[in-house]
């Protein structure tokens, strides 16, 4: 190693995935005076070797940050104060519990009984959508939206990721609803698939929820084991310039185990026409939009407020609670455990 | 700060306690009994925003027919699952579904729930 080569270790913010290691390393190695760069995901650091002349580490960090900024990373000399923010829990825990109690009360209120009509017009489909988004489906669809959008907002995601998700959901319901009507074949999944999917969604929500709490470092390792399309593309969609992933997740919500969605699919099936099936499902999805949009754009908005720490911890607690709720329900449906809840 | 932690924990305990109290109160209500007509036992359950009655007592070892009626049911309770019978069906929004339970199956406690698992009912064969 020539005498004028020096090695510095910088802390990287914004590094979450295996791809980030390659990305930061290759970008840094492209800098003329850098001879080697080695990133570590677990330590959130990068070791940079090169001929830096007599620049101070601060200057180097600032220069290299310029290189990485477009990809959403930043280098600092000091490890950013890793404040787990335990103090935030003082507010977050009661708030989360009040919201969870509100959710349970909403279920107990018997909203489903508000649907008095037994035939389905577009108006009814919209109304059923409205009801669905605040009742039982809130646990799984709303929980997923909250966990994904809060995580996305936390990682610096923009309105585009969230919008694409909703566009995907509306478009997916239209097209798939049309197909259900046209083919006369129900696309909803069987019991086993339902249980498996329910468990997977619960698990993803649990991991995202724990990450939102931001107190346990071992989950960063768990995150790697998450489906890479979720951790990379959806959560950090804005950084990696992916349009497809949030769209696909939006379309995928068509298959989530939600009773209301399934009964709407059953109705679409009975129409036997593409247009009617498509419109019914689209209008239903439109009915669920206000609540889901509130969750996703609300998260995005709050992510820039000074009390965002409280918000992320509150969201984390709620998402974990919903994940456990969904998991217990999935296991009960499979007949593995007795039902724990009845709301 | 310490004072706030105490207040926070106190509020949390109150909410959890209240929720548990509510949950235990509501689950004790709403039970029913099976009716026997001509040697066949009928268990009637209506499904809409949950199942009612939640707990039905029936005689064990009788040929049993479970009648689940829906009326404008678009929620999860239309998606009926009975794990012990390996039964799963998406019920019509309005109508009555008859599910036969053989004398051999009419034993112990039978759980029925919606496919998402949030609503359930029990038939206790005694």
Cβ atoms of A236 and A155 closer than 8 Å: yes
| Contact criterion met (CB < 8 Å) for B74 and A115 | yes
From the CB of residue A172, how many other CB atoms can be counted at a distance below 10 Å? 22
pLDDT of residue A228: 47
Exposed e or buried b for every residue in B30-64, given b needs 16+ CB within 10 A? eebebeeeeeebebbbbbbbbbbbbbbebeeebeb
Rounded to a whole number, what is the distance in Å from the CA of B42 to chain A's nearest CA?
Answer: 24
**At B111, is the secondary structure helix, strand, or coil?**
strand
Cβ atoms of A68 and A24 closer than 8 Å: yes
pLDDT of residue A238: 42
Selected for mutation to probe chain A from B49, B77, B97 (highest A CB count within 10 Å) is: B49
| CA proximity to A73, closest of A219, A236, A233, A215 | A236
Nearest chain A residue to B11 by CA distance is A94
Task: Give residues with Cβ within 8 angstroms of B37, minimum separation 6.
Answer: none
pLDDT of residue A66: 83
Domain boundaries, chain A: 6-76, 86-333
Between strands B120-125 and B55-58, the pairing is parallel
Q: Topology of domain B30-125, per CATH?
A: Immunoglobulin-like (2.60.40)
**What are A78's two structure tokens?**
């000091």
Cβ atoms of B121 and B56 closer than 8 Å: yes
pLDDT band at B116 (very low <50, low <70, confident <90, very high): confident
pLDDT band at B26 (very low <50, low <70, confident <90, very high): low
A256: phi then psi, degrees, rounded to nearest 5: -60, 140
User: B31 touching A, CB under 8 A?
Assistant: no
- Candidate from B74, B111, B118 with C-beta closest to A343: B118
Q: pLDDT, tens digit, for every residue of B50-84?
A: 888 888 999 988 999 999 998 888 888 888 889 88
Cβ atoms of B90 and B68 closer than 8 Å: no
| CA proximity to A61, closest of A127, A8, A128 | A8
Cβ atoms of A141 and A129 closer than 8 Å: no
**What's the DSSP call for residue A31?**
S
pLDDT band at B28 (very low <50, low <70, confident <90, very high): very low
**What are A183's two structure tokens?**
């083919």
User: A86 touching B, CB under 8 A?
Assistant: no
User: A109 touching B, CB under 8 A?
Assistant: no
- Candidate from B8, B16, B113 with C-beta closest to A90: B8
| Contact criterion met (CB < 8 Å) for B120 and A198 | no
| CA proximity to B77, closest of B60, B65, B94 | B94
**What's the DSSP call for residue A69?**
G
Chains A and B: how many Cβ contacts under 8 Å? 141
| CA proximity to B77, closest of A343, A271, A98, A124 | A343
Rounded to a whole number, what is the distance in Å from the CA of B26 to chain A's nearest CA?
Answer: 9
Length of chain B: 126
Q: What are the 10-residue block averages of pLDDT along chain A, 343 residues in total?
A: 72 73 82 84 80 81 82 72 67 86 76 71 88 81 86 76 90 91 70 81 86 67 48 47 76 83 83 89 93 88 79 89 87 77 58
Model-level pTM?
0.70
| β-bridge partners, A36 | A49
Cβ atoms of A63 and A33 closer than 8 Å: no
pLDDT of residue A175: 93
pLDDT of residue A86: 73
pLDDT band at B24 (very low <50, low <70, confident <90, very high): low
C-alpha A64/C-alpha A74 separation (Å) is 8
B93: phi then psi, degrees, rounded to nearest 5: -60, -35
C-alpha A26/C-alpha A21 separation (Å) is 8
Calculate mean pLDDT across residues B75-97: 86
Cβ atoms of A284 and A264 closer than 8 Å: yes
Rounded to a whole number, what is the distance in Å from the CA of A163 to chain B's nearest CA?
Answer: 27
Q: Topology of domain A6-76, per CATH?
A: Alpha-Beta Plaits (3.30.70)
- Candidate from A94, A101, A339 with C-beta closest to B8: A94
**What's the DSSP call for residue A235?**
T
A307: phi then psi, degrees, rounded to nearest 5: -95, 25
pLDDT of residue A216: 64
User: A136 touching B, CB under 8 A?
Assistant: yes
**What are B29's two structure tokens?**
């209500």
- Candidate from B49, B50, B115 with C-beta closest to A333: B115
Cβ atoms of B15 and B21 closer than 8 Å: no
Q: What is the DSSP secondary-structure string of A286-319?
A: HHHHHHHHHHHHHHHHHTTSTTHHHHHHHHHHHH
Residues of B in contact with A287 (CB under 8 A): none
């Amino acid at each position: 190693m020539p005498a004028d080569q020096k090695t510095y270790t910088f802390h990287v913010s914004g590094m979450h995935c295996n791809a980030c290691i390659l990305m930061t390393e290759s970008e840094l190695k492209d800098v003329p005076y850098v001879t080697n760069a080695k990133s570590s995901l677990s330590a959130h650091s990068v070791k940079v070797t090169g001929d830096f002349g007599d620049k101070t580490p601060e200057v180097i960090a600032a220069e290299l940050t310029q290189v990485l900024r477009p990809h959403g990373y930043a280098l600092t000399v000091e490890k950013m104060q890793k404040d787990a923010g335990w103090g935030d829990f003082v507010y977050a825990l009661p708030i989360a519990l009040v919201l969870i109690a509100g959710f349970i009360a909403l279920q107990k209120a018997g909203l489903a009984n508000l649907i008095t009509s037994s035939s389905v017009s577009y108006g009814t489909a919209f109304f059923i959508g409205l009801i669905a988004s605040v009742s039982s489906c809130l646990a799984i669809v709303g929980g997923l939206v909250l966990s994904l959008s809060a995580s996305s907002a936390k990682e610096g995601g923009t309105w585009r990721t969230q919008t694409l998700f909703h566009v995907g959901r509306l478009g997916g319901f239209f097209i798939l609803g049309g197909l259900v009507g046209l083919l006369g074949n129900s696309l909803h999944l069987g019991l086993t698939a339902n249980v498996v999917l329910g468990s997977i969604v619960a698990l993803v929500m649990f991991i995202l929820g724990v990450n939102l709490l931001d107190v346990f470092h071992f989950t960063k390792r768990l995150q790697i084991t998450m489906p890479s399309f979720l951790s990379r593309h959806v959560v950090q969609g804005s950084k990696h310039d992916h349009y497809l992933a949030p769209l696909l997740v939006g379309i995928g919500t068509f298959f989530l185990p939600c009773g209301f969605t399934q009964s709407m699919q059953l109705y679409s099936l009975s129409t036997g026409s593409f247009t009617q099936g498509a419109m019914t499902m689209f209008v239903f999805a439109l009915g669920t939009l206000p609540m889901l949009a509130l969750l996703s754009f609300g998260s995005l908005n709050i992510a820039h407020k000074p009390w965002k720490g409280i918000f992320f911890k509150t969201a984390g607690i709620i998402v974990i609670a919903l994940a456990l709720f969904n998991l217990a329900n999935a296991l009960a449906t499979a007949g593995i455990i007795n039902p724990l809840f009845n709301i | 700060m310490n004072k706030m932690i105490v207040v926070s924990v106190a509020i949390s305990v109150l909410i959890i306690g209240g929720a548990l109290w509510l949950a235990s109160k509501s689950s004790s209500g709403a039970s029913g009994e099976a009716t026997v007509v001509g040697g066949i036992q009928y268990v009637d359950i209506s499904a809409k925003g949950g199942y009612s009655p939640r707990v039905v007592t029936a005689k064990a070892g009788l040929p049993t027919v479970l009648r689940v009626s829906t009326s404008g049911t678009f929620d999860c309770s239309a998606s009926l699952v009975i794990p012990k019978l390996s039964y799963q069906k998406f019920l019509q929004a309005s109508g009555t579904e008859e599910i036969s339970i053989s004398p051999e199956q009419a034993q112990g406690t039978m759980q029925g729930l919606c496919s998402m698992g949030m609503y359930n009912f029990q038939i206790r064969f005694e």
